[in-house]
C-alpha cells in the first residue's frame, strides 16, 4: 500500500526546477500568482497543510500558530533568517521549524562588498550622470570617492556571512575588525585576519566602514541606535545586508542628511518597502531591493535545502536544518 504523500503549501512561487522537484515528492499547493499570501490565506494554509514553506514576507506570529491545524508539524522556511516566525510558540505546539543556512553566505558577502564599493566610489552617481546624458568628459575633480585599501572595516556579527565578508575585505587591503556576541577561536580569527573588539561602542567609533551582518533578534533590534550611530566618524559609511531592524532607520536618515555620516548602502529596511522618502532622495545612499541572496545558484540551493528538510522529516527524522528557539 503506497504511503500517503505529505501535503505541502508553498506561500510564494519558487524557481521552476525547485517547484518541479517538490511536486514529484509531495502533494504540493502553489500560489497561482507570485505575490505574498494574505494573512487569511496564510491561516487557511496552516490549518490544512502538513508542511508549510514560507518566506521572509510571511509573518507567522503566535496568533497564526495558535490557529494551525493538527496536521501541521513542520514549517520549512525558504531562507536563512527566521525572525518572522515565532519559533518558541511553534515548539510549544510540537511544530518543527527549519531554515536554509549557508547557501546565502557567499552571495550576501559579495553584495556587502558591492555596497561598500558603490558607496565609497559613488558608483550610482556616475551611473545617473551617464544615463542623464550630462557627461561631457573626464575631469580631475569629478565624482571623487575614497580608496578602500587601508581603511578600517568593522563587522557587526561574525557568523558565516561576516567571516565571508572579512575574507573579501582582506583581499581588498582593508583592515578587518569585528564585534560578536562571542569571540571567535584564535585560529578562526587568524584565518579571516580580523581583530576582536569586546566593546561595540569603541569599535564603531574607530571604523571607516561598518558592515551589519548580525541577525534580527530582540537583543539586536535597533542595536545601531541614534546614540551609537553618533559615535561613528563623520567620514564613515555604514552598509547593511542583514536585517533592517538592526539600524534605527530614522536616526540614520537624519545623520546622513546633516552630513554626520558620509554615506550608507542598504539592502534591507525597517519595513518591506522604503517608506522614508528622505532616505530615498539622498545622493550619499545606495538602496537595493533585498538582493543579497538573489543569484540563480543561491535561490535554487535554498530550494534544495527546503526539499531535504521536508524529505528527512517525511522519513521520520529531524530536519538537518532544524531551528531551535534557544538559537535565536
Which residues on adjacent β-strands are paired with residue 210?
A: 154, 238
Same domain membership, residue 34 and residue 132:
no
Provide the CATH number for the domain around residue 319: 3.40.50.720
61, part of any domain: yes
184, part of any domain: yes
Mean pLDDT to the nearest integer, 136-162: 95
Give pLDDT, residue 109.
98
Same domain membership, residue 257 and residue 122:
yes
121, part of any domain: yes
Give pLDDT, residue 272.
67
For residue range 231-285, list pLDDT tens digits in order: 999 999 999 999 999 999 999 999 999 999 999 999 999 876 676 788 999 999 9
Same domain membership, residue 203 and residue 60:
no
The pLDDT of residue 103 is above 70: yes
Task: Read off the pTM.
Answer: 0.90
- What range defines the domain where residue 322 resides? 7-103+295-327
Same domain membership, residue 180 and residue 305:
no
Burial tier of 55 (Cβ tally within 10 Å: 0-12, 13-18, 19+): middle
152, part of any domain: yes
Q: Confidence band (pLDDT; 50, 70, 90) for 3?
A: low
1, part of any domain: no
Same domain membership, residue 111 and residue 99:
no
Give pLDDT, residue 2.
47
Same domain membership, residue 47 and residue 124:
no
Same domain membership, residue 176 and residue 115:
yes
Same domain membership, residue 253 and residue 140:
yes
Same domain membership, residue 180 and residue 138:
yes
Same domain membership, residue 190 and residue 306:
no
Give pLDDT, residue 177.
98
Same domain membership, residue 72 and residue 120:
no
Mean pLDDT to the nearest integer, 78-107: 94
269, part of any domain: yes
For residue range 12-52, list pLDDT tens digits in order: 999 999 999 999 999 999 876 788 899 999 999 999 999 99
2, part of any domain: no
Same domain membership, residue 322 and residue 190:
no
> How many domains does the chain contain in total?
2
Amino acid at each position: 500500500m503506497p504511503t500517503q504523500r505529505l501535503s505541502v503549501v508553498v506561500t510564494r512561487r519558487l524557481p521552476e526546477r525547485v517547484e518541479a522537484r517538490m511536486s514529484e515528492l509531495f502533494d504540493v499547493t502553489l500560489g497561482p500568482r507570485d505575490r505574498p499570501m494574505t494573512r487569511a490565506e496564510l491561516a487557511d494554509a496552516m490549518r490544512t497543510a502538513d508542511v508549510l514553506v514560507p518566506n521572509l514576507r510571511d509573518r507567522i506570529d503566535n496568533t497564526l500558530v495558535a490557529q494551525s491545524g493538527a496536521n501541521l508539524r513542520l514549517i520549512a522556511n525558504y531562507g536563512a533568517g527566521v525572525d518572522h516566525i515565532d519559533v518558541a510558540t511553534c515548539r510549544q505546539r510540537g511544530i518543527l521549524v527549519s531554515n536554509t543556512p549557508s547557501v546565502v553566505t557567499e552571495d550576501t558577502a559579495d553584495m556587502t562588498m558591492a555596497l561598500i564599493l558603490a558607496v565609497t566610489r559613488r558608483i550610482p552617481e556616475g551611473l545617473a550622470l551617464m544615463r542623464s546624458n550630462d557627461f561631457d568628459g573626464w575631469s580631475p575633480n569629478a565624482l571623487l570617492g575614497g580608496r578602500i585599501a587601508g581603511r578600517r572595516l568593522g563587522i557587526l556579527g561574525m557568523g558565516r556571512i561576516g567571516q565571508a565578508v572579512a575574507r573579501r575585505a582582506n583581499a581588498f587591503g582593508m583592515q578587518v575588525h569585528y564585534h560578536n556576541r562571542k569571540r571567535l577561536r584564535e585560529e578562526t580569527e587568524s584565518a579571516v585576519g580580523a581583530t576582536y573588539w569586546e566593546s561595540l561602542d569603541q569599535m564603531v567609533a574607530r571604523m571607516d566602514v561598518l558592515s551589519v551582518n548580525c541577525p534580527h533578534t530582540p537583543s539586536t533590534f535597533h542595536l545601531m541606535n541614534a546614540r551609537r550611530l553618533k559615535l561613528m566618524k563623520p567620514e564613515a559609511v555604514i552598509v547593511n545586508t542583514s536585517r533592517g531592524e538592526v539600524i534605527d532607520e530614522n536616526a540614520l536618515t537624519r545623520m546622513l542628511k546633516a552630513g554626520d555620516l558620509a554615506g550608507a548602502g542598504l539592502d534591507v529596511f525597517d519595513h518591506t518597502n522604503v517608506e522614508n522618502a528622505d532616505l530615498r532622495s539622498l545622493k550619499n545612499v545606495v538602496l537595493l531591493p533585498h538582493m543579497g541572496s538573489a543569484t540563480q545558484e543561491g535561490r535554487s540551493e535554498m530550494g534544495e535545502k527546503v526539499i531535504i528538510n521536508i524529505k528527512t522529516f517525511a522519513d521520520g527524522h529531524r530536519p538537518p536544518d532544524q531551528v531551535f528557539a534557544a538559537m535565536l
